[in-house]
Amino acid sequence: MSRQQRDALDAVLRSVPRSKTQPTPEEQRGDFSAAITRPVPEGMVTRRTVLGGRPTLELEPAGASGPGRLLYLHGGGYVVGSPDTHAGLVGELARRAGLRALSVDYRLAPEHPFPAAVDDGLAAYRELLAAGTDPRDLVLAGDSAGGGLSIATLLAAREAGLPQPAAVVVFSPWTDLTLSGESIRSKEDADPLFTEADIRAYADLYVGAGDRAHPLASPVLADLTGLPPLLVQVGANEVLLDDAVRLAARAGADDVEVTLEIGPGLPHVFQHHYGRLDEADAALDRAARFLTAHLNAGHPDADRPEPVR
């Protein structure tokens, strides 16, 4: 993998000017959208639909067939982001896995604080099952806050007595809103995107005076027993490194099949940089293989198409 690519990306991320005053949520949303939105992959069909009562973007890669479905929950600190900002990333993961994807526009804070996002994730998951989707044909994925939300959604589903999906993949998951991970402080200089103050500001908007240790707000503190096979990918150069490492450790301790991948020299949700960072493309390929392998394991006799590469 290219050290030159990693260094160039780090320099670009550090060159973004930081506001001297705290921008409003609306200003943050506009800036975030302008910074990360990428087009869907060529040949991808998109449709606007509704799932669990929330607007949802459906993405269908060329040649996708079969019952497999990917439910995606986007990142953005529970304050910014949308299916549109993440359409490129979700589309790339869906294309590589050969799966139809559904990206949910869950409600954002501060207008809709915790647990609104979890309620929306659970409602979307519940509707897919109620519509006849076999849980063995369903996988989840999410990045950053959406990674934590993916785990929280599955915990809420477990508590509601719903079956678990075939697998879940999380990219740089934010899983501890108490900010107790050591990397929140030790990785500040290495992280080109976030400081402890940035993360704390998002937590303030999402949870406010609520219980930040609640297992659906900080799933790294939850009992993860019964969750499906889990793949965690994270960069070494990010303040949320320990959120990912401790999530994997907790999952393993709770007898969940888990794979942890730490990319040296890589920033938060480096997968967004597919097509210009070798590590991002390789990570998305591994994530796609992980999802399809567990979908196939649920139907060992099924004749499934090969993932689209």
Tokens of 114: 């915790």
In whole angstroms, what is the distance from residue 222 CA to residue 201 CA?
Answer: 23
Beta bridge partners of residue 170, listed in sequence order: 142, 232
In whole angstroms, what is the distance from residue 129 CA to residue 148 CA?
Answer: 21
Active site residue 294: no
Active site residue 144: yes
Gyration radius of the chain over CA positions: 18
Active site residue 268: yes
> 3-class SS at 206?
helix
Q: Which of 144, 150, 172, 218 does the annotation list as catalytic?
A: 144
In whole angstroms, what is the distance from residue 179 CA to residue 88 CA?
Answer: 29
In whole angstroms, what is the distance from residue 171 CA to residue 286 CA?
Answer: 12
Tokens of 100: 């139809």
Q: Which of 74, 86, 268, 272 does the annotation list as catalytic?
A: 268
Contact 102, 51 (CB under 8 A): yes
CA atoms within 13 A on the CB side of 183: 21
Q: Which of 214, 238, 279, 294 does the annotation list as catalytic?
A: 238
Active centre residues (catalytic):
144, 238, 268
